[in-house]
Chains A and B, each alone.
Chain A
């Protein structure tokens, strides 16, 4: 450790102000603080500080995504093997998925971090850790067949337009990862929708079993083919067709436990999102007709399908874009879940509504907070009136 520290200390002057490579100060600083927690001591205010910092927070979130990621890799292989009519071992499926998914992760991180570093450099800021999470979220919410250049483009769009123009991590209005997904969805509708994109190799169509459709459960449901839906166990454990990391509610729940136990994820938002979705699902059940069988899909199954669980645990809970007030969090989460299922079932243009619903409530979060704060001020005023 001392040796490494020595090397860093020797390099430091080169990258500091006045040094040859001073232009890369933020970059150097980012790598240095990645290796070492800095020796900076308190100078104003509290002399002691909690060990918690943003790096730790972000690392915990990435850790929580690992189960979903690993399962997603396995599932990529599994779905491919089904599509070509073969039976692969778990290891084969996983390795196949690993090879397919890893490039997407690398592209996402390299593009995003590159831009983050550049912006930090220009602004003379420290590099923010926010993208550690976004960079992992993006690969998990795209279909496996997505071209890598699209991932790069979408990531760049999300980081620049979704985040940096607002001032960087902590200042953004909408979730950057969802911005990337929405960009893909709207910029390349031909490549990003339909039944051919969810299973690796299906769009090329080589060696595919006759009659294999590749449609996601949601697409089947939207088309009214309720008999084609997977079983509840398949939905829950995630051996179904869908975006890379979104299919397994089980793996996502492991992540949820990590987030909730460490306190990094907000339980109020998660719970109210699920309650909102469930309530909407139930409401649709009540008004279900024979002509629209989708509406009679049991409400709880909605929670296992599509991106709902992933959205509930990793997307809606993003503290920056969520409501900041405690009461606001309940409203925000509930609205998110409620609208997600509504869009999913009722709007025929979008088979999945979670992404759009979360983006929508992201935009509404400041408004929700505004009214919560207003109510708080009113209560404060009343309290004085009573006590005075």
Chain B
């Protein structure tokens, strides 16, 4: 194993309600959905209609411009709804499970028996391909592209993050199979990053280069890891896959059909018993949160509190998410809130007396805690972006739509999650993640 990469900049936001290491299997939902909105830059083309019968692995929609990329049903049953939003944009394709697990069969095999092309075909056919994202841009990888390397972050450092050592402890062989398959298909080296100071079961993984990262969030962000292992230059492409998805790839291909089971953490201050659930991709969260959420106005977030998506309590878990966070809404007024000493208010600045209690876990809510302003303070972002990137300058280049400056300042290396902490610490309450995504979209548009 290579030496430990120490991340110095960053911030661990300590929140109440981390999931305990217990796995709940019983509760299972009837409704599942795949949401085209989970994928950046995707124009979906619908392949099913309401009332169509589908099997596990039946394509529901495909990428209009790259039709080989398909999005398939995680369960067998019936399409019950295609929900649309503004301008008839497809929001979700909802399937009601019949509990039968009828599967669409593909060629079964491992890295040793399948050829690179067969692996790719299976991934595309089963609907597993969208798990492979590419950098730059953080979009679904192009099946035609040859990546320089594949990066897998074996841990998550975000607030309330699920513990992948726990999630993957019984899926090691599938994880290994996934790595072997990805390596064979791409012909590129696979890098797996592990947390320092934790005895991760992933340490035994072979056929991949292991790296160890220490330090605060965003040490677990794959973008930060890429930056420290082998930064992306203009014209280069790398692929990234989530750890649980690697195991899903391995398991599905070895069995010859899609097995979309996954383990999801339910966490947050408003959860009565935060724990893990064994469920299936795209599950409705209704059964998971039923009778396990405290009273009051709460927000359900598919993903973590920094980068996740706000969903309703009858909506569905996001395609890439292994975490469901539940925190209080912050729609209240606070008299002279900006002037109070602030003993219980978590802040990176010492202007609140919460610096007296550095290890306290906080019950953070969704209030902005102030109004949006122009950039005033400087140097705040630098403290939370552990990359050789000047965050404010990059954001300003994006706002100015200066493509050359964006390239020079490192737009290829970042996606919005790498700027989530900037957004958290920002005194002026600037929505940096949105700016970054707009910048990435601009790059895609200009360079295609």
> Which of A's residues lie within 8 Å of B, judged by CB?
1, 4-5, 33, 35-57, 59-60, 126, 128-130, 167-171, 261-264, 266, 319-320, 322, 324-326, 329, 373, 376-377, 379-381, 383-384, 387-388
Q: Which residue of B has the minimal Cβ distance to A55?
A: B338
Interchain nearest-CB distance for B331 vs A (Å): 5
Q: B434: nearest residue on chain A (CB-CB)?
A: A44
B335 to A324, Cβ gap below 8 A?
no
Among B37-45, B86-94, B375-383, the stretch in contact with A: B375-383
Please determine whether B427 and A39 come into contact, CB atoms closer than 8 angstroms.
no
Q: Is A51 a contact partner of B346 (Cβ separation < 8 A)?
A: yes
A37 touches B378 (CB 8 A): no
B407 nearest in chain A by CB position: A377
Q: Is the CB of B376 within 8 A of A57?
A: yes
Could you write out 21 A-B pairs with CB less than 8 Å apart? A35-B335, A40-B367, A42-B368, A44-B433, A48-B305, A50-B427, A52-B369, A53-B371, A54-B370, A55-B370, A56-B427, A57-B427, A126-B373, A169-B373, A170-B428, A263-B350, A264-B349, A324-B392, A379-B388, A383-B388, A384-B231
- Assess the A54–B373 pair: CB atoms within 8 A: yes
Are A45's CB and B333's CB within 8 A?
A: no
Residues of chain B contacted by A261 (CB below 8 angstroms)? 350
**Does B332 lie within 8 Å of A39, measured CB to CB?**
yes
Chain B residues, CB < 8 A from A40: 331, 367-368, 371
CB-contacts of B379-436 with A (<8 A):
379, 382, 388, 390, 392-393, 408-410, 416, 420-421, 423-429, 431-434
Chain A proximity of B183: nearest CB distance (Å): 21
Which residues in A have their C-beta under 8 angstroms from that of B256?
A: none
B440 within 8 A of A: no
Hey, which chain A residues are within 8 Å of B368, CB to CB? Answer: 38, 40-42, 49
**A322 touching B378 in the complex, CB below 8 Å, given contacts A39-B367, A50-B348, A50-B369:** yes
Contacts A41-B365, A319-B376 aside, 16 further interface pairs with beta carbons under 8 A come to A5-B335, A36-B337, A41-B330, A45-B416, A47-B305, A48-B365, A48-B424, A51-B347, A53-B371, A55-B339, A59-B338, A126-B373, A262-B349, A263-B351, A264-B351, A373-B390
The 9 A-B pairs with the shortest beta carbon distances in the complex, nearest first, are A53-B370, A170-B374, A37-B337, A36-B333, A45-B433, A55-B338, A51-B345, A48-B364, A37-B334
Contacts of B427 in A (CB 8 A): 50, 52-54, 56-57
B305 near A46: Cβ-Cβ < 8 Å: yes
A37 to B331, CA, bound (A): 10
B13 located at the interface, meaning its Cβ lies under 8 Å from any Cβ of chain A in the complex: yes
Which of A37, A45, A373, A380 is within 8 Å of B338, CB to CB?
A37
**Residues 297-326 of chain B, each 1 if its beta carbon lies under 8 Å from chain A, else 0:** 001010001111010000000000000010
- A39-B331 in contact (CB<8A): yes
Decide yes or no whether B447 CB sits under 8 A from chain A.
Answer: no
Cβ-defined contact, B333 with A38, below 8 A: yes
Beta-carbon contact of B366 and A44 below 8 Å: no
> How many chain B residues have a CB neighbour from A under 8 Å?
73
- A41-B371 contact in complex given A49-B423, A51-B345, A53-B427, C-beta closer than 8 Å: no
Nearest-CB distance from A28 to chain B (Å)? 14
Any A CB within 8 A of the CB of B12:
no
The answer to whether A41 and B329 touch across the interface, beta carbons within 8 angstroms, is yes
Chain B residue contacts of A52, Cβ below 8 A = 347-349, 351-352, 369-370, 425, 427
- B259 near A: Cβ within 8 Å? no
Chain B positions within 8 Å of A, measured between CB atoms, are 13, 15, 159, 230-231, 233, 299, 301, 305-308, 310, 325, 327, 329-339, 342, 345-352, 364-379, 382, 388, 390, 392-393, 408-410, 416, 420-421, 423-429, 431-434
Task: Give B360 Cβ to nearest chain A Cβ, in Å.
Answer: 14
Complexed CA–CA distance, A41 and B329 (Å): 7
Contact across chains for B370 and A37 when beta carbons are under 8 A apart: yes
Give the CA-CA distance A5 to B349 in the complex, in Å: 29
Whether A38 pairs with B339 at a CB distance below 8 angstroms is no
Complex contacts, A60 vs chain B, CB 8 Å? 351
Beyond A39-B332, A263-B349, A324-B392, whether A171 also contacts B337 by CB under 8 A is no
**Chain B residues, Cβ within 8 Å of A169:** 373-374, 376
Contact A47 B409 (CB under 8 A): no
- B301 CB contacts on chain A under 8 angstroms: 47
Bound Cα distance A150, B190 (Å): 70
How long is the Cα–Cα vector from A129 to B352 in the complex, in angstroms? 18
Is there contact, CB below 8 Å, between A57 and B331? no
Most chain A CB within 10 A, of B159, B390, B420, B434, is at B390
Q: Quote the shortest CB–CB distance from A333 to chain B (angstroms).
A: 13
Q: Are B347 and A50 in contact (CB under 8 A)?
A: yes
B367 & A37 in contact (Cβ 8 Å cutoff): yes
User: Could you tell me the distance between the alpha carbons of A383 and B234 in the complex, rounded to whole angstroms?
Assistant: 13
Taking the closest CB of chain A, its distance from the CB of B356, in whole angstroms, is 13
B410 touches A380 (CB 8 A): yes
Closest residue of chain A to B339 (Cβ to Cβ) is A59
Q: Do the beta carbons of A56 and B338 come within 8 Å of each other?
A: yes
- Identify which of A37, A171, A381, A388 contacts B369 (C-beta below 8 A): A37
Q: Is the CB of A35 within 8 A of B377?
A: no
Residues in A whose Cβ lies below 8 Å from that of B231: 383-384, 387
**In the docked arrangement, what's the CA distance between A33 and B299, Å?**
24
Smallest beta-carbon distance B441→chain A, Å? 14
Cβ contacts under 8 Å, B388 to chain A:
376, 379-380, 383
Nearest CB of A to B125, in Å:
35
Contact call B347/A48, Cβ cutoff below 8 A? no
On chain A, the residues within 8 Å of B330 by CB distance are 39, 41-42
CB distance from B373 to the nearest CB of A (A): 5
Task: Report the Cα distance A56→B347, complex, angstroms.
Answer: 11
The docked-state distance in angstroms from the alpha carbon of A377 to that of B364 is 37
B342 with A51: CB separation less than 8 A = yes
A320 touches B376 (CB 8 A): yes
CB distance from B414 to the nearest CB of A (A): 13
B374 with A319: CB separation less than 8 A? no
In chain B, what residue has the closest Cβ to A266?
B379
A50–B371 touching, CB < 8 Å:
no
Nearest-Cβ distance from residue A381 to partner chain B, whole angstroms? 8
Residues of B within 8 A of A168 (CB): 374
A373–B405 alpha-carbon span in the complex (Å)? 10
> What's the minimum C-beta distance from B402 to chain A, rounded to whole angstroms?
12
Alpha-carbon separation in the docked complex, A170 to B372 (Å) = 12
B337 touches A49 (CB 8 A): no
Cβ distance B273 to chain A, nearest Cβ, rounded Å? 22
Q: Assess whether B376 is in contact with A170, with CB atoms less than 8 Å apart.
A: yes
Which of A47, A319, A383 is in CB contact (< 8 Å) with B377? A319
The CA of A264 and the CA of B378, in the complex, are separated in Å by 10
* Cross-chain contact of B13 among A48, A126, A376, A381 (Cβ < 8 A): A48
Q: Is the CB of B369 within 8 A of A41?
A: no
Of A4, A45, A325, A381, the residue contacting B431 (CB under 8 A) is: A45
Which chain B residues border A59 with CB–CB below 8 Å? 338-339
Contact of A325 with B349 at beta-carbon distance under 8 Å, contacts A38-B333, A41-B330 already known: no
Minimum CB–CB distance for A65 against chain B, Å = 15
For A130, what are the chain B residues with a Cβ–Cβ distance below 8 Å? 376
What CA separation (Å) do A46 and B409 show in the bound complex?
A: 23
Contact assessment for B349 and A50 in the assembled complex, using a CB-CB cutoff below 8 Å: yes
Q: Which chain A positions have C-beta within 8 A of B364?
A: 48
Distance A43 CA – B337 CA, assembled complex (angstroms): 21
Chain A residues near B372 (CB-CB < 8 A): 126
